[in-house]
Amino acid sequence: MNVVKVLVAAPLHEKAIEVLKNAGFEVVYEEYPNEEMLIELVGDVEAIIVRSKPKVTRKVIEAAPKLKVIGRAGVGLDNIDIEAAKEKGIKVVNSPAASSRSVAELTIALIFAVARKIAFADRKMREGVWAKKQSMGIELEGKTIGIVGFGRIGYNVAKIAKALGMNVLLYDPYPNEERAKEVGGKFVSLEELLKESDVITIHVPLIDATYHLINEERLKLMKPTAILINAARGAVIDTDALVKALQEGWIAGAGLDVFEEEPLPKDHPLTKLDNVVLTPHIGASTVEAQMRAGVQVAEQIVEILKG
């Protein structure tokens, strides 16, 4: 019997490794190899598992004659050459639902952090400044949250927002009225959502239609008291326009986990503003999400290879 070899090319939760080993596969582990090394490693493997890196390029795929499946533990597939895989009949699987709750919880955390000036207050405390007066915030109960993109993550955010006593407005090109009912949400136009919401949070994929969806014109529609949150993809918001909006007070504040350029360059204008909270793309960075992402991909790979 030939042992099936699986290359794990990124850190993976031990439970996911267990799933592969229990299926009788031989697991080869190499953390984030570069392309050259990856090409050397894939000669006899039937499956590769990656996270947001390394890149599985056409060259890598062509160097792997036995490859049947590529797994991405996580959401996007930007680092896999889907076309090259398709041409060779190689399946590509991922775990889109694994991090939904984690991203939703970070979104709520960012809302609170901006609404109650938590990061600002913490910074001042460390500087030895008792900034009680400058740390006046707002309550979320009774406020309106506008959720742009009502998929898995948007739904989770709405569920928590409803529990906080917020009014829920929704915008999605494919409205799911039944799911909206569950969270007491109401579908409106994007323009109405931007005008009426106290908190606006973005949960759309980055595609041509959503590039700079939130631009200068749309930022100007928002209330001067509005808080804007982005834990989706950086380029959904026009960064230059957002900096201007925050500097000139078109909106009150922002919480950002994603950026047009990642890592965010040192001394970026956003880092100079006190009314913005920044995190380094950690939406899916929880123990639970990483475990689910790994296990879900491992299970799909077992299913495909065991056929």
- Give 13's Cβ-side CA count (13 Å radius): 21
- Give 137's Cβ-side CA count (13 Å radius): 19
Q: Of 13, 51, 152, 233, which one is the catalytic site residue?
A: 233
Q: Of 36, 182, 262, 303, which one is the catalytic site residue?
A: 262
For the chain, where are the alpha helices, taking DSSP H only? 14-22, 35-41, 58-62, 82-87, 100-115, 118-126, 152-163, 177-182, 190-196, 216-219, 239-248, 287-306
40 is annotated as an active-site residue: no
233 is annotated as an active-site residue: yes
Q: Of 281, 288, 292, 299, which one is the catalytic site residue?
A: 281
126 is annotated as an active-site residue: no
**Cα separation, 69 vs 20, whole angstroms:** 13
Sequence-ordered list of residues with C-beta below 8 angstroms from that of 16, at least 6 positions apart, any chain = 49, 73, 291, 294, 295, 297, 298
Q: Which of 290, 299, 289 is nearest to 47 (CA)?
A: 299
List residues with catalytic annotation.
233, 262, 281
